[in-house]
Amino acid sequence: MARTQQKPRVFSRLLCNSRAARNRSCLFRQAGPQATVLLVLTAIIHALVFIEAIAQEINPPLGPYVHLADGDFADSSTFSTNTLLVTTSYFYWYDSYSNAHLVDGDGTDALTDHPPTLTDFSYKSKPWHGTQLSDMMDAGIDIVLPVYWGAPSERNPTNSQLYWSYAGLGPLVSARIELVQAGKQPPRIGLFYDTSTLQYNSWGEHIDLTTNRGREWFYESIRDFFSLIPPRHWAMINGQPVVFLYSSAFAVAHDQSSIDYVRQAFARDFGGRVPYIVREISLFRTKLGTVSVEPIPDSGGRNLERIP
């Protein structure tokens, strides 16, 4: 956000530096009206390009599992598109210690369904995640999709109400490691990217996915999730990490370029792997046509991603 706040000062320095301003004044007096207009437009364009470059800077990866090589996937496994899979979204934002998402702001009950106990019912708790994973195993679930609200604006734990998105992933991974070491096969971890953060976030930005900054924002949100999960715990289909997307309605605008950029940047940062992107049924249909993502056949052989 600091970059955005600095824009007026940068623009002011470019246009109002006293010495540079005197030089430009002399130049404008010597040039004809048309040349003057061209010079002014050129200065403005260069200034805006400079500002845009600052705004498009991306944060460094939040976790350590990035810039991967083939060896980093030695202990990983993958599903195939020929395998029928059971997945579940996983809302892990609860915290019994602060009452987050358990009690509403007016003091009323925030839950519709209630667990047997709220003791240690928290995204911070490894035992709690372990219980959830064990229940998923009993239900025959193959892939767990944490519903994740991470975004470039939410990385500071002191001023983001969504930092649980990051803080809950470490205990989840630890719980899965413990189950694997016990000889069990808990669900592998994919991503459910809640795209509402494209509109509702700590910086108050409304993201346009057709711009460079918007594409960077979109990618960074996905990248930071996987940078916090060791690759051997990723849910993959045909070697591609699984990403489910929520509605595109939260973006100012979107097109195929946002998906293409994610694929390209992810391969660069994660050892050539390209994400297996699944769109929500209403997602990524634009005036230019339906955005292309990975096909998901149902048991009848139909392509669910192409159903109107």
pLDDT of residue 307: 23
pLDDT surpassing 80 at residue 27: no
Same domain, 300 and 184: yes
Which of 11, 31, 51 terminates a domain? The answer is: 51
Same domain, 154 and 302: yes
Average pLDDT for 19-28: 42
pLDDT of residue 193: 98
Same domain, 68 and 46: no
Percentage of residues in the chain with pLDDT exceeding 70? 73
**Gap between the Cα atoms of 168 and 227, Å rounded:** 14
**Gap between the Cα atoms of 164 and 92, Å rounded:** 8
Residue 129, H or E segment: helix 126-138
Same domain, 66 and 34: no
Question: Domain range spanning residue 197?
Answer: 60-306
Which of 10, 31, 51 terminates a domain? The answer is: 51
In this predicted model, what pLDDT tens digit does every residue of 217-258 receive, in sequence order?
Answer: 999 999 999 999 999 999 999 999 999 999 999 999 999 999
pLDDT of residue 191: 98
Confidence at 119, pLDDT banded by 50, 70, 90: very high
Same domain, 9 and 152: no
Same domain, 237 and 264: yes
Average pLDDT for 3-21: 38
Same domain, 41 and 88: no
Average pLDDT for 87-108: 96
- Look at the alpha carbons of 67, 152, 214, 92 in this order and tell me if their dihedral is positive or negative: positive
pLDDT surpassing 50 at residue 44: no
Same domain, 148 and 288: yes
In this predicted model, what pLDDT tens digit does every residue of 130-169 receive, in sequence order?
Answer: 999 999 999 999 999 999 999 999 999 999 999 999 999 9
Same domain, 119 and 136: yes
Query: Structurally, how many domains does the chain consist of?
Result: 2
Same domain, 98 and 185: yes
Same domain, 163 and 251: yes
Same domain, 33 and 86: no
Residue that wins the pLDDT comparison between 89 and 42: 89
